[in-house]
């Protein structure tokens, strides 16, 4: 798709972000192919806890790319200024374009690996690619922040599996290399030069392994203090023109939080604060995070009438997101003295998440089902999602099949049961 002009660029952005999350990079690569011919594409997106690194394109390239190739580009890139140059990738010097965006708070980088004979892209083309990547990463951040329960459950399941595989590989490699070092350091072996060389190789392998593990943690997790600072920045505008005094208590802990836990804690606190501000009178609200016993406890305490109830605070998606992470919401309301609401979320993904039948559905199917559950007819759903009515019918049929129900009403009832 030629990106010259605003309308084609907007069309390209729409075509990309309407895809399920797993198909966004392939579609992005496709719409860029004519304007910026390339052999492979890769992304490193810190919004995504379970698969921050994705690739698409020629297997001889993407099979040899790692996060180590993209992490320096993310760290050194300047948002709004795509970089063209040459990198040593997949065993060869290759021309590339690296595009960095800060549309997500922790950044994201897109790498396009080009043919050796590729002509450098001109400034207008780079500007359009940058704008498109900014739109895509903004979409990523919204999806991460407002993830539907089914999507969050899949994320937590994938994150748990990924963490287990990484841990198992790390333990295996570490044990093997440590054993090798023990043998090579033995004074009973001959050929000191060979032993020294092998020792250096094993040490380098251990260092690389540990660096990979640390890099993975940096991408998939977020320091607690940094996560709380992001929350604080999003809350201040809510009380800027209000007489309510907002007090913030950041967590006193050096620990990092899994991205899905941080996203859910922020969404929960924002939702609770909005309910708290609806009360009269409220003059002071204290919001604090604390980490203890393997849990994050996010507390919202006010000096209002003390009449908050669980029904008012746990509408559909908020309760679902906590349930997926095995979290809970506790309310201590004392009439005349105020209310304290505490969200408790386990930090570990080792336990299986609560079973959720919606995990069988794709992103678009979840969007259709959510509207179907509100009683919307096909025409309204089509207008809201900017798709045809026949496409809505197709999605509804798939939803009924995947959920094992026979009617729209039964699907809606199942959605409300889970939600």
* pLDDT tens per residue across span 316-328: 567 767 777 888 8
* Higher-confidence position of 271 and 22: 271
Q: What is the pLDDT of residue 49?
A: 55
Averaged over 394-407, what is the pLDDT?
Answer: 86
Q: What is the pLDDT of residue 181?
A: 63
Confidence of residue 341 (pLDDT cuts 50, 70, 90): very high
Averaged over 285-305, what is the pLDDT?
Answer: 93
**Please, what is the Cα angle at 66 between 143 and 175, to 5 degrees?**
110
Long-range CB contacts (< 8 A, 24+ apart) of 75-80? 77/107, 77/109, 79/107, 80/130
Q: How far apart are CA 303 and CA 366, in angstroms?
A: 39
**Looking at the predicted structure, is the pLDDT value of residue 352 above 80?**
no
Q: What is the pLDDT of residue 375?
A: 86
* Higher-confidence position of 5 and 310: 310
Quote the percentage of the chain above a pLDDT of 70.
72
* Length, in residues, of the chain: 419
6 by Cβ neighbours in 10 Å (0-12 / 13-18 / 19+) ranks as exposed
Averaged over 236-264, what is the pLDDT?
Answer: 87
**Looking at the predicted structure, is the pLDDT value of residue 250 above 80?**
yes
30 by Cβ neighbours in 10 Å (0-12 / 13-18 / 19+) ranks as middle
**Looking at the predicted structure, is the pLDDT value of residue 25 above 80?**
yes
Going by their DSSP bridges, the two strands 295-302 and 338-346 should be labelled as: antiparallel
Q: What is the pLDDT of residue 128?
A: 86
Q: How far apart are CA 312 and CA 352, in angstroms?
A: 28
Nearest CA-CA partner of 71 in 57, 87, 58, 59? 87
**Looking at the predicted structure, is the pLDDT value of residue 156 above 70?**
no
> Is 279:303 a contact under the CB 8 Å cutoff?
no
> Is 331:341 a contact under the CB 8 Å cutoff?
yes
Q: What are the tokens at 385?
A: 């999602």
Q: What is the dihedral of CA 173, 176, 180, 183, to 10 degrees?
A: 150
Strand order in the sheet with 83-89: 53-57, 40-45, 108-113, 92-101, 83-89
Quote the percentage of the chain above a pLDDT of 90.
19
* Higher-confidence position of 304 and 9: 304
Tokens 């999605």 belong to residue: 395
Q: What is the pLDDT of residue 241?
A: 81
Q: What are the tokens at 135?
A: 């739109």
Q: What is the pLDDT of residue 86?
A: 92
To the nearest whole number, what is the mean pLDDT of the chain?
79
Q: What is the pLDDT of residue 350?
A: 46
**DSSP helix/strand/coil, 32:** helix
Q: What are the tokens at 419?
A: 């939600």
> Is 86:95 a contact under the CB 8 Å cutoff?
yes
* Higher-confidence position of 250 and 419: 250
Q: How far apart are CA 258 and CA 159, in angstroms?
A: 9
284 by Cβ neighbours in 10 Å (0-12 / 13-18 / 19+) ranks as middle
Q: What is the pLDDT of residue 361?
A: 79
**Looking at the predicted structure, is the pLDDT value of residue 164 above 60?**
no
**Looking at the predicted structure, is the pLDDT value of residue 194 above 70?**
no
The region, left, alpha or beta by phi > 0 then psi within -120 to 50, assigned to residue 191 is left
10 Å Cβ neighbour count for 171? 10
**Looking at the predicted structure, is the pLDDT value of residue 315 above 60?**
no
Q: What are the tokens at 93?
A: 């010097």
| Full-model pTM | 0.49
Q: What are the tokens at 260?
A: 């899905």
Q: Which of 22-26, 229-233, 283-287 has the highest mean predicted lDDT (pLDDT)?
A: 283-287
* pLDDT tens per residue across span 353-392: 445 677 677 778 888 888 888 888 999 998 888 888 888 8
**Looking at the predicted structure, is the pLDDT value of residue 275 above 50?**
yes
Confidence of residue 339 (pLDDT cuts 50, 70, 90): very high
> Is 328:318 a contact under the CB 8 Å cutoff?
no
- Among 100-109, 187-196, 304-313, which stretch is predicted with the lowest mean pLDDT? 187-196
Q: What is the pLDDT of residue 85?
A: 92
Q: How far apart are CA 264 and CA 318, in angstroms?
A: 8
Q: What is the pLDDT of residue 186?
A: 62
Confidence of residue 414 (pLDDT cuts 50, 70, 90): confident
Q: How far apart are CA 99 and CA 44, in angstroms?
A: 11
Confidence of residue 145 (pLDDT cuts 50, 70, 90): low
* Integer angstrom CA distances of residue 56 from 111, 113, 355: 10, 10, 31
**Please, what is the Cα angle at 178 between 177 and 183, to 5 degrees?**
95
């Amino acid at each position: 798709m030629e990106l010259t002009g605003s309308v084609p660029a907007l069309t390209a952005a729409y075509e990309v972000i309407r895809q399920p999350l797993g198909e966004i990079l392939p579609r992005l690569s496709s719409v860029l192919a004519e304007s910026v011919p390339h052999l492979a594409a890769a992304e490193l997106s810190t919004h995504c806890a379970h698969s921050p690194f994705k690739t698409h394109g020629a297997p001889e390239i993407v099979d040899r790319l790692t996060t180590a190739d993209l992490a320096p580009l993310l760290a050194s890139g300047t948002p709004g200024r795509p970089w063209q140059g040459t990198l040593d990738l997949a065993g060869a010097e290759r021309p590339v374009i690296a595009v960095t965006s800060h549309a997500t708070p922790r950044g994201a980088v897109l790498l396009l690996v080009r043919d050796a004979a590729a002509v450098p892209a001109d400034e207008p083309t780079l500007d359009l690619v940058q704008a498109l990547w900014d739109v895509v990463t903004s979409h990523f951040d919204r999806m991460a922040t407002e993830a539907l329960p089914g999507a969050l459950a899949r994320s937590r399941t994938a994150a748990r599996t990924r963490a287990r595989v990484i841990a198992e590989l790390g333990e295996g490699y570490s044990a093997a290399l440590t054993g090798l070092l023990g043998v090579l350091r033995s004074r009973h072996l001959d050929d000191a030069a060979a032993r020294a060389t092998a020792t250096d190789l094993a040490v380098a392998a251990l260092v690389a392994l540990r660096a990979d593990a640390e890099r993975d943690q940096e991408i998939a997790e977020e320091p607690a203090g940094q996560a709380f600072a992001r929350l604080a920045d999003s809350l201040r505008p809510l009380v800027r023109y209000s007489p309510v005094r907002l007090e913030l208590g950041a967590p006193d802990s050096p620990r990092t939080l899994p991205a899905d836990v941080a996203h859910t804690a922020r969404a929960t606190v924002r939702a609770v604060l909005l309910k708290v501000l609806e009360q009269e009178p409220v003059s002071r609200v204290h919001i604090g995070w604390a980490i203890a016993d393997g849990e994050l406890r996010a507390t919202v305490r006010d000096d209002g009438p003390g009449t908050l109830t669980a029904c008012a605070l746990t509408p559909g998606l908020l309760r679902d997101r906590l349930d997926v992470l095995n979290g809970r919401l506790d309310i201590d309301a004392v009439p005349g003295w105020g209310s304290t609401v505490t969200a408790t979320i386990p930090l570990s993904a080792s336990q299986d998440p609560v079973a959720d039948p919606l995990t069988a559905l794709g992103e678009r199917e979840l969007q259709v089902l959510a509207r179907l559950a509100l009683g919307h007819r096909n025409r309204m759903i089509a207008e809201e999602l900017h798709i045809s009515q026949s496409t809505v019918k197709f999605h509804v049929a798939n939803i009924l099949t995947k959920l094992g129900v026979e009617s729209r009403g039964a699907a809606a009832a199942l959605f409300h049961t889970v939600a």
